[in-house]
């Protein structure tokens, strides 16, 4: 199965809600941009029925260049993590059931 993309999502808005193609494309862009903007502002995002995007601050830790073996510290950084909601987890698990 090929992956769902922004173009596919815009197509669904066009088909299901009758947005015109430009509106649909813009809506998809805005949706992801507003989520990015919130995360950039250190604000977690909670989408019920889907999941939560959280932020974690990681302190510097020792690392290694796997090719050369050279030690290089991995700098402190903020990362985004995703925690799927109960409903999504259950739906995805149900899929595993149909496959096995």
Partner 1 sequence: MAGEPPGVQMALTKSELIERIAAQQTQLSPRDVELAVKTLIEEMANALAEGGRIEIRGFGSFSLHFRAPRVGRNPKTGASVELHGKYVPHFKPGKELRERVNQAMQTESSASDSESSGDVSVAARTGS
Return the residue matching tokens 């889907």: 50
Q: Which candidate, 40, 41, 54, places its Cα nearest to that of 85?
A: 54
Taking the complex as a whole, how short is the minimal distance between the CB of residue 69 and partner 1, in angstroms?
25
Among 3, 30, 33, 28, CA closest to 13: 28
Contact set for partner 1, span 16-35 (CB under 8 A): 16-17, 19, 23, 27-28, 30-32, 34-35
Asked if 64 is part of the footprint of partner 1 (rule: CB under 8 A), the reply reads no
Q: Does 86 bind partner 1 (CB under 8 A)?
A: no
Quickly tell me which residue has 């999941």 as its tokens. Answer: 51
- DSSP code of residue 95: H
Q: Is 68 in the site for partner 1 (CB under 8 A)?
A: no
* Minimum distance of partner 1 from residue 74's CB (angstroms): 12
């Amino acid at each position: 199965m090929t992956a769902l993309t922004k173009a596919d999502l815009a197509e669904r808005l066009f088909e299901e809600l009758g947005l015109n193609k430009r509106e649909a494309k813009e809506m998809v862009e805005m949706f992801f941009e507003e989520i990015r903007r919130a995360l950039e502002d250190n604000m977690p995002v909670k989408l019920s029925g889907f999941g939560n995007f959280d932020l974690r601050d990681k302190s510097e830790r020792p690392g290694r260049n796997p090719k050369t073996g050279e030690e290089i510290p991995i700098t402190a950084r903020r990362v985004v993590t995703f925690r799927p909601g109960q409903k999504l987890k259950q739906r995805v698990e149900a899929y595993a059931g149909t496959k096995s």
